[in-house]
Chains A and B, each alone.
Chain A
Amino acid sequence: MRLELAWSDVDEVTAAAATRLAGRRLEVDLDGLRELLAADSRLATIRLELVHPGERCRIGRVFDVVAPRAKADGGEDFPGVLGAVARAGDGETLVLAGVAVVVTDQQTDNVGTLAVIDMAGPNAALSAFGRTHNLVISAWPSPGTERSDYLAAVRLAALRAAVHLARTARESKPDRVEVFELPPSPRVPPELAHVPRVAYVFQIHSHQRPTGLDEGILYGDPVRRMLPTIVHPNEVLDGAVLRGFMGRSVTTWATQNHPMIRALYAQHGRTLWFAGVVVTVAQATEPERVRSAFLTASLVAHTLGADGAVLTKIGGGAPHVDMAQAASQCEALGVKTTAIVEDMSTDGSAEGMLLFDFPGVDALVNVGSSQEPIILPAMDRVIGADDLAPKLLGETRATYGGLCGAIEQVGATRIMAEVR
């Protein structure tokens, strides 16, 4: 499988009469795009806004962030959710660098579960989305639209906008082309037979909440009864995996630019052999967790023949333990593991950082504490959260978990909790 990401750098985004890429300037016809998105009857009102790095602006009520991507050859975009079900991960995909689509949630009253993005000030540097030009989509539900339908609609709007923007690069010559090519895992050339085989165990969803019927996660499937399975890493990079609706410290953007898959590709054929990706779901009950853990370990050890595995989680405490159980089963089969955890302590004490203690699960990297307080400085403008603007305009307190893009559980970020 060979995926080519054709990157076009964008350093200016402006509203214009037509949507096109003029050199490094992306011009967006906001009215035309709004009309395109308004075709979804679940959405009553749609507002589109552009914000830029350095603007003293705060985006509130952030639900998810999507990277602008589109298949160059007319293939299916975000197959199973936006496009028809088709294999992702092969061929050429157009990518805009320096632009993101941010989608807000205007429905929930439980605003504590939503995040903000600062476009200026000290917090802008902590998030990838403080450094991108952002198209912000805010949409209000039509009367009677249920929660899950609303979230499916706003996510679809974000995916549609992301494809719409990336298609402007069809006529341009890309600034660079990144190639992701991984042969079937058993075919290791003899000169590389000595390097360790490493698998990635990617927990893509958690069953801590009821999963909506329209909550497409793997090729549009809501993974309600999913058992561990193997996918090609290119499928993850090319839109086959989307974040579910409860995206605590994880964005679709991070999945599209998956840092672990990139890190393993970067070392592939040098210090390790990238043996493949196992996708798993954090289960709700103990028998399901145990079953998932040993099936994961079997795929890693017996099918992929891996010597080592890295694991990441999604969601909160139960997924954290679920991942550790899978790591422990890998260790039991002789597969060395490292895992990325959040600092789970809610009172800042080191003794509360971990919720497990399994033999062999001793090599842990952490992405920091989402509970640690952080100051949001005063801004000149708030968008995406009219109702919260009085609070979000002035200096206010939040947590790292409430700053979108500061902590990405898949390992894209540099925040870490240090024991002091």
Chain B
Amino acid sequence: MVFGALRVVCYVNQFFGQLGGEDKARVGPQVVDGAVGAARAVQQALGDAGSVVATVICGDNYAAEHAERATAEMVELVAAARPDLLVAGPAFLAGRYGVACGALCAAVQAELKIPAVTGMHAENPGVELYRRRVYVVQTGAEATRMLAEAQRLVALGLKLARGKAVGAPAADGYFARGVTRNVVADAPAAERAVAMLLDKLAGRAFASEVPRPAFPPVAAPRLVKTLEGATIALVTDGGLVPRGNPDGIEALNATRYGAYSIEGKSSLDAAQYDNPHRGYDTTWVKEDPHRLVPVDVARELEQSGAIGKLHETVYSTVGVATTLAQSARMGREIAEKLREAGVDAVILTST
């Protein structure tokens, strides 16, 4: 956290660094003392709050074609200038430049622990790639209002460098990073809900306070074999575990799953199983585990030849308050194991 005048480093491409146009796009990273080109707008926006001590310039093609190397080289140049803040761009609608700004900001934050801010147009590919990790201020498509845009980057950058609270995306002009934070609203939730309903009923615009989920619907794939020839596995997120919960699967927000053998078992003995799941009433599953994992019926189908074979391992986890990231990882790992074992289809029981 810095209270006095800030040391600021700017990053600009060959064009905004006044090296030249496309003919200079292959130029590698270099550093110039003080503010050059677009960095002068940043200096003007800073006023007495700080000074641009160095400007890092890099050609767009170099940054795009040798992305990792370019970022690493620029991080070194930034580190050498010992700044309190990095201002990258703004890159407007320039795609290679935007991606490079995002990558450098992310690396400087992570490796040097120095706050960084950049700016782009909504359609710059750098926004989608980096907005979750980096504060990306929303700008126009072109550099027609450079000073005004630089002022908005600098305003947010000063808050970050001085450890001041950052406002909402709309208030501070940056792309939402997709993280949530509790704030105090103007009115109680009930009053907001009634007001929103009246807007919806009247056909007026309303702003839902929760974004629609981004995850796509997952269609069940077609079984390419007949059931008679297929190996079927039982998988559940309902929390069935052997007594003692040997894998320590969490009661909620799980990060672990278990693989439990049913070899030689025609049914599950309730006394040998338990259920740590905290999201539903497990009374009935504890009383009879087949209500969740139907080994008994599946064995009958196996014996009658209705299915080819029952896979001898049951996969189980606890699906409650589990993060999307953990769910996706566990699902991917279980699916890989099932595929390696030659399983054709899965009966997935959820609660």
Contacts and interface: CB of A to CB of B under 8 A. Distances in A.
A272 B168 CA distance: 32
B193 interface: yes
B189 A367 contact: yes
Nearest to A347: B323
A352 B324 contact: yes
B213 A354 contact: yes
B194 A260 contact: yes
B185 interface: yes
Interface stretch (A67-75, A143-151, A161-169, A203-211): A203-211
A284 interface: yes
B225 interface: no
B180 A271 contact: no
B interface secondary structure, majority: loop
Contact of A419 (B211, B213, B320): B211
B253 A284 contact: no
B186 interface: yes
A194 to B, nearest CB: 12
A350 B206 contact: no
Contacts of A356: 213
Interface stretch (A45-53, A335-343, A377-385): A335-343
Interface stretch (B33-41, B75-83, B154-162, B279-287): B279-287
Interface in A231-279: 259-260, 262-264, 267, 271-272
Contacts of B181: 348, 372, 417-418, 420
Given A207-B281, A260-B190, A317-B279, A348 B197 contact: no
A400 B180 CA distance: 13
A326 B191 CA distance: 21
A272 B198 contact: yes
Contacts of B176: 350, 419-420
A308 B200 contact: yes
B197 A420 contact: no
B213 A418 contact: no
Contacts of A349: 178-180, 323-325
Given A354-B210, A354-B212, A263 B191 contact: yes
A413 B186 CA distance: 10
A398 interface: no
Nearest to B210: A364
Nearest to A339: B193
A329 interface: no
B178 A350 contact: yes
A345 B280 CA distance: 18
A114 to B, nearest CB: 15
B180 A348 contact: yes
Contacts of B214: 351
Given A317-B321, A338-B197, A351-B213, 7 more contacts: A259-B189, A310-B194, A351-B215, A364-B209, A365-B196, A411-B189, A420-B166
5 contacts: A198-B197, A263-B194, A354-B210, A412-B189, A419-B211
